[in-house]
Amino acid sequence: MGTRARVTIYGGTHQDADRAFSTIKALDNLLSDYNPGSEISEINRQAGKTPVTVSPDVTQILRTSKELARETEGGFDPTIGALTIGVYRFGREGGSKISEKEIERGRALVDYRRLIIKGDTVYLEKEGMMLDLGGIGKGYAIDKAVEALKEGGVTKGMVSLSGDIRVFGSDIRMGIKDPGKDGAIAEFRTGAGDLAISTSGGYERSVTSAGKTYHHLIVPETGRPGEDFLSVTVVLEGNNTLADAYATSLFVMGKHKALEFLAKHPEVGVFLVFPGGDTYYNEAFTKLTADLRVD
């Protein structure tokens, strides 16, 4: 999935940790568009040509992705790959010369409604469409890895993939990176329950073309990077799949739509960092975490 995985357990055995890593690796083999042999890559290759028979995990995450796309009114869109892969080529060798024409071409191919799921088959209706599950895949893999650990009897631990983290049964002090400098802009404790944490930041991955830098959080409607936030951190009780997707979608929604969405979803804890360094956090964030300290 283009990043490193980390598993920490308190008690248990090396075999328990290995089971979590194996779960993540198996999902990487299915979901990662960085892996040319994954089922997602095969769906992309067959776009506009033929449906692809897929594994249950792929069906499940794509059905969830379509539900989230409807819920966020397209803020989260699993077909964003036409832009992130096809135009900007984030995390890929060779880069791309980015032009307005290419952005418009890619934007026209982003439409979750043209992702067709029937039984165990998946089809992208138009050639050139591409799935990119970077906004949900890591969260899903973390949930499955934690599930595997708990089934093995592990009661305390942490699993992380880049900015997605799940802590269960252990009270750990965490930091939210300051997007403008080294160090943390805020710190908090996770409590001893089961906390899902996901951060989306424009500083995480970018490409440069013709002297202009583009970060990887692309707004489906415009085909261009979101500009209202420097980072969005979401906390939820025990669900990294949703936390990952919400962090991505809130970032690209922009300030006004994001705050409207949060007003309708009081269960979602959020910590926002704006250009210039101002911050905002809601009541749910303070309830789900402990001992919040903001720089």
Which fold, 162-294? T-fold (3.10.520)
DSSP per-residue codes, 16-47: HHHHHHHHHHHHHHHH-TTSTTSHHHHHHHTT
Residue 14 contacts residue 4 (beta carbons within 8 Å): no
For residue 225, the cross-strand partners are 218
Residue 88 contacts residue 111 (beta carbons within 8 Å): no
Q: Which pTM value belongs to this model?
A: 0.94
Please write the tens of the pLDDT for every residue from 109-168: 999 999 999 999 999 999 999 999 999 999 999 999 999 999 999 999 999 998 899 999
CA dist 55 and 66 (Å) reads 17
Q: Which run of H or E residues covers position 287? A: helix 283-288
Identify the pLDDT of residue 55. Answer: 98
